[in-house]
């Protein structure tokens, strides 16, 4: 039943619920770390809060300012949502192979993530607001800096598994060992780069609230804002599930068992790591972030790849 797979499980509906759940989990975890309560009165323990936000934004007035480029401004949020949803279909969630998979889908995921950032820049530029233009420029700068160490570090698992497919990497981890044990450095680099790539808190420079209001999505309201917020939730799921499938073995449990529950548990752990970092750090300046990426992360990623190649020679 490929149709049911795409629409219900592990397709669109499941991912939608997962995205809302992850936003709730993230907000609750950050609130807990800041000694607050977080969303409380929307459903049990506020679990329906992201859903309520989404419905409210959909019902709000959708303003298109007079000065914007109408086509790009209206198309932007839809394209960004599609492009952030697409890589999720390539990630093995229920079994050891994904809904769609082919040799080289790791490269495809990287390509889609780059494309998404270019669309982000275009829609920021087309909203003709000074803040969103600055935000758009920062999005591009950050992508240029962090794409390179991310790609280099992601080749580590690919070299170990001798395959450029995420599903194959997960199957390799099922038969051999978790790649987190072999490449802890790579895991750290990928986590930092994903934070930057998906513009989460220590690297939320493009939408810094206190200096450029809300950065690249300052002009979006109503339905467009709802789609953009949903995109952010999907990106959170994407970041966590990339970490899970590259280094933690995806839906693989102990004793060669496979279940979506294992995937879910690992996903929750990864999201807790990400929200812990979000509560722990303040925002970097743009030059600090770029300097960090070029001076430390790229060489470290190269060292990781060299280690991956050398390790089998030293320890047979």
Instruction: Choose among 231, 206, 178: nearest CA to 283.
Output: 206
Binding part of the chain for another protein, among 137-145, 168-176, 221-229, 305-313 by CB under 8 A, reads 221-229
Q: Which C-beta is closer to another protein: that of 24 or that of 89?
A: 24
Nearest approach, Cβ of residue 221 and another protein (Å): 4
Nearest approach, Cβ of residue 46 and another protein (Å): 8
Q: Which C-beta is closer to another protein: that of 27 or that of 278?
A: 27
Instruction: Choose among 65, 87, 56, 88: nearest CA to 229.
Output: 56
Instruction: Choose among 246, 245, 235, 247: nearest CA to 274.
Output: 235
Q: Which C-beta is closer to another protein: that of 59 or that of 175?
A: 59
Nearest approach, Cβ of residue 65 and another protein (Å): 9
- Collapsing DSSP to helix, strand or coil, 67 comes out as coil
State phi, psi for 125 to the nearest 5 degrees.
-70, -35
Rounded to an integer, what distance in angstroms lies between the CA atom of residue 105 and that of residue 97? Answer: 12
Binding another protein (rule: CB under 8 A), the pick from 90, 93, 192, 225 is: 225
Binding part of the chain for another protein, among 2-10, 45-53, 89-97, 190-198 by CB under 8 A, reads 45-53
- Write the DSSP assignment of 236-291 as a string of letters: HHHHHHHHHHHHS-TTB-GGG-B-HHHHHHHHHHHHHHHHHHHHHPPPPPHHHHHH
| 139 CB burial (10 A radius; 0-12, 13-18, 19+) | buried
Rounded to an integer, what distance in angstroms lies between the CA atom of residue 114 and that of residue 144? Answer: 9
- For position 213 contacting another protein by CB under 8 A, the verdict is yes
Binding part of the chain for another protein, among 56-64, 103-111, 265-273, 297-305 by CB under 8 A, reads 56-64
Q: Which C-beta is closer to another protein: that of 6 or that of 31?
A: 31
Which residues from 60-89 bind another protein, rule CB under 8 A?
60-63
Q: Which C-beta is closer to another protein: that of 278 or that of 307?
A: 278
- For position 115 contacting another protein by CB under 8 A, the verdict is no
Residues that bind another protein (CB under 8 A): 27, 31, 34-42, 46, 48-49, 51-56, 59-63, 209-210, 213-214, 218-222, 225
């Amino acid at each position: 039943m490929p149709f049911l797979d795409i629409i219900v499980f592990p397709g669109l509906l499941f991912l939608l619920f997962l995205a809302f759940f992850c936003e709730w989990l993230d907000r609750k975890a950050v609130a807990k770390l800041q000694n607050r309560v977080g969303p409380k009165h929307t459903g049990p323990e506020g679990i329906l809060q992201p859903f309520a936000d989404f419905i409210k934004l959909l019902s709000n007035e959708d303003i298109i300012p007079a000065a914007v480029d109408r086509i790009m401004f209206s198309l932007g949020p839809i394209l960004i949502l599609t492009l952030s949803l697409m890589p999720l279909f390539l990630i093995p969630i229920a079994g050891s192979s994904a809904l769609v998979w082919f040799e080289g889908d790791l490269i495809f995921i990287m390509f889609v993530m780059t494309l998404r950032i270019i669309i982000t820049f275009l829609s920021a530029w087309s909203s003709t607001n000074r803040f969103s233009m600055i935000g758009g420029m920062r999005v591009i700068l950050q992508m240029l800096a962090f794409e390179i160490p991310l790609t280099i570090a992601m080749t580590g698992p690919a070299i170990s598994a001798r395959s450029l497919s995420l599903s194959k990497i997960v199957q390799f981890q099922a038969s051999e060992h978790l790649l987190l044990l072999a490449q802890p450095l790579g895991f750290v680099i990928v986590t930092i780069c994903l934070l930057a790539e998906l513009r989460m808190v220590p690297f939320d420079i493009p939408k810094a609230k206190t200096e450029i209001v809300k950065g690249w999505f300052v002009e979006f309201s109503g339905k467009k804002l709802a789609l953009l917020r949903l995109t952010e939730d999907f990106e959170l799921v994407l970041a966590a599930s990339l970490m899970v499938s590259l280094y933690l073995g995806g839906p693989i449990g102990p004793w060669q068992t496979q279940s979506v529950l294992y995937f879910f548990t690992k996903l929750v752990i990864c999201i807790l790591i990400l929200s812990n970092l979000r509560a722990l750090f303040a925002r970097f300046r743009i030059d600090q972030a770029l300097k960090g990426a070029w001076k430390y992360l790229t060489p470290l990623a190269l060292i990781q790849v060299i280690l991956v190649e050398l390790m089998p020679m030293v320890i047979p």
